[in-house]
Amino acid sequence: MPPQASEDSPEGAAAFVKHYVDVFNYAAATGDVDELSRLSSPDCEGCQKYASKFRAIYSGGDRIAEKLWTLSDSDLLISRHMRVTAVINVNKGHGQTQPYKFNFDLPNEAPFVVEQLTLEETS
């Protein structure tokens, strides 16, 4: 984990979310969800859903060939309650991506874990 992701600040929260997205993509590419689970609260339904999905894909002998989530620095918004909203380009397959807004609810102070991961409704 990058050192800044452990800082008790909005910048630290943003760095943590960037790291989480990297770990998410690693879990999707390998089926190894240990670090993804460590960075997620056991109560985070969205987090657990992705971890279970990756486990099932790889235990069944299938693979995910492409990076699933892409995030750029300009696509992060941090609220004062440590909710990080990120616009993430989600790989839809065959070179197609679509932007979605995800909310990462974090504790109010470091060390951070994702307490809830939700897709924000868009109009």
SS3 87: strand
Domain ranges of the chain: 3-119
Predicted local confidence at residue 75, as pLDDT: 76
Helix (H) or strand (E) holding 27: helix 10-30
109 phi and psi, to 5 degrees?
-150, 160
What CATH number is given for 3-119 in this structure? 3.10.450
Predicted local confidence at residue 34, as pLDDT: 98
How far, rounded to the nearest angstrom, does the alpha carbon of residue 42 sit from its chain's CA centroid? Answer: 14
SS3 103: strand
Predicted local confidence at residue 65, as pLDDT: 82
Predicted local confidence at residue 45, as pLDDT: 96
Predicted local confidence at residue 92, as pLDDT: 86
Separation CA 91–CA 98 (nearest Å): 7
From first to last of its 123 residues, the chain has per-residue pLDDT tens of 999 999 999 999 999 999 999 999 999 999 999 999 999 999 999 999 999 999 999 999 999 988 899 987 667 888 877 899 999 999 988 888 888 999 999 999 999 999 999 998 665
Cβ partners under 8 Å of residue 62, min gap 6: none
Q: Could you tell me how many helices (H) and strands (E) the chain has, helices first?
A: 3, 4
47 phi and psi, to 5 degrees?
-60, -45
